[in-house]
Amino acid sequence: MLETLISSKMRIKLLLKFFLNSNATSYLRGLEAEFGDSTNAIRVELNRFEKAGMLSTFIQGNKKYFRANTKHPLYSDTHNLLMKYIGFDQIIDTVIDKIGDLKKVYVIGAFAKGLDDNVIELIFVGHINEDYLSQLILKTKNHIHREIIFSVFEEDVPKEMKDYCENSALLLWES
């Protein structure tokens, strides 16, 4: 659907990279390695987003880093559109209503890094009905046409995963 509205594949990649997770930062050569595309195509789109004020920049060493400008008037709308495009909104809304005592939902993997993927990896924290969750996940997978992998932790993520979740995961929902 998003490809119909936005014809530039690079623009979609950059939107996903920076507007799904507002903490995501990167520089031109890093994006080249991550996306496997030419620096010229990436640079053109980065310059457009920067000129429009949707990306802010900072210099670290000899590299110019980019990140989403969360103060831009369209940031929230863009973020919400991308959440709907991926299907996160449907997953969360469906699950939260009847799942039990849900505390947090994280997305990990490619989407947490702002990369599009056919697999959505989720972590649920709380005392929840896992059979019901499995049924919902199956229905949602068929609806959004993406594979969904999930883990459930009752209290909180294990200590060895806590740093990962705080630094690399995207917190989607918290009670």
More confident residue, 56 or 5: 56
Q: Span 9-22, mean pLDDT?
A: 86
Average pLDDT, the chain: 84
How far apart, in Å, are the Cα atoms of 135 and each of 95, 131, 140, 142, 153? 10, 6, 9, 11, 18
Average pLDDT over residues 130-155: 84
pLDDT of residue 38: 87
* 90 pLDDT tier (thresholds 50, 70, 90): low
**What average pLDDT does range 125-141 have in this prediction?**
85
For the cut 80, the answer to whether the pLDDT of residue 114 exceeds it is: no
Question: Quick one: pLDDT at residue 92?
Answer: 65
Residue 101 has pLDDT above 80, yes or no: yes
2 pLDDT higher than 70 = no
User: Cα 116–118–123 angle (5° rounding)?
Assistant: 85
65 pLDDT above the threshold of 90? yes
**Is the model's pLDDT at 94 over the cut of 70?**
no
Rounded CA separation 111/86 (Å): 9
Q: Which helix (H) or strand (E) holds 120?
A: strand 119-128
Rounded to whole angstroms, how far apart are CA atoms 34 and 37? 8
**Sign of dihedral through CA atoms 94, 98, 103, 108?**
negative
pTM, 2 dp: 0.58
What is the distance of C-alpha 56 from the center of its chain? 19
Three-state secondary structure call for residue 61:
coil
How many C-beta atoms lie closer than 10 Å to residue 121's C-beta? 18
pLDDT for residue 3: 65
Are the CB atoms for 123 and 169 separated by under 8 Å?
yes
pLDDT of residue 62: 93
Say which amino acid occupies 66.
Answer: F
